[in-house]
Amino acid sequence: MRAKRTSLVHIIYFSRLTLSSDPAKRSAQVDDITRVAQKKNEFAVITSLLMIEGNFAAQVIEGERTSVHETFDRIAADPRHREVQICEWREIAKREFVNSFKCAQRGGSNDTLFAKANLLPMFQRGTPKTSAILSLAMAIQADAMSRQGIDHLFV
């Protein structure tokens, strides 16, 4: 018999980044966030995808209720972004993401996916659709996986 699952939740939020306008410094700041987030999320069995478009960030965080809560509290208090607003916080039947932390910044190969999702005007109005954020995150992951040739494992 399968072991009973602990209760899984996800949080989807968006925020305004307060990172440096200097591209090299900004990139080092994103690397810092990634390094720490990967480690901490792995330890807390959290899976997550962060999207960055201009100065807006949106992130999906999934995992066991308490871990997600603790992680989100730390993230919300981080001065590297402000106006952190939760779009959705709910129980989920299963995870959608496989990595402890991935960061996708708009540009290059993912540009078409970001363009199709058209989140920027919604961010600017302060009313992004949860479904648009989640489907962009899933499309980014699916694209990354098919590039690695492992998409057949996640149908």
Question: Which residues bind to ligand FMN, rule: CB under 6 A?
Answer: 33, 36-37, 40-41, 48, 50, 57, 59, 61, 71, 74-75, 78, 80-81, 101
Helix-then-strand count for the chain, H and E: 5, 5
Residue 112 vs 124, nearer CB to ligand FMN: 124
CB of 149 to ligand FMN, least distance (A): 27
> Residue 56 CB: number of other CB atoms within 10 A?
20
Residue 51 vs 117, nearer CB to ligand FMN: 51
Give every CB contact of residue 133 below 8 A, 6+ residues apart in sequence.
12, 14, 51, 58, 60, 87, 117, 119
CB of 13 to ligand FMN, least distance (A): 9
**Tokens 């290059």 belong to residue:** 108
Measure the CA–CA gap between 47 and 96, rounded to whole angstroms: 8
Residue 44 vs 145, nearer CB to ligand FMN: 44
> Residue 133 CB: number of other CB atoms within 10 A?
24
Cα→Cα distances 95→5, 14, 25, 99, 138, Å: 12, 19, 33, 10, 11
CB of 75 to ligand FMN, least distance (A): 4
CB of 1 to ligand FMN, least distance (A): 33
CB of 4 to ligand FMN, least distance (A): 26
Residue 43 vs 146, nearer CB to ligand FMN: 43
Residue 75 vs 113, nearer CB to ligand FMN: 75
Measure the CA–CA gap between 19 and 105, rounded to whole angstroms: 13
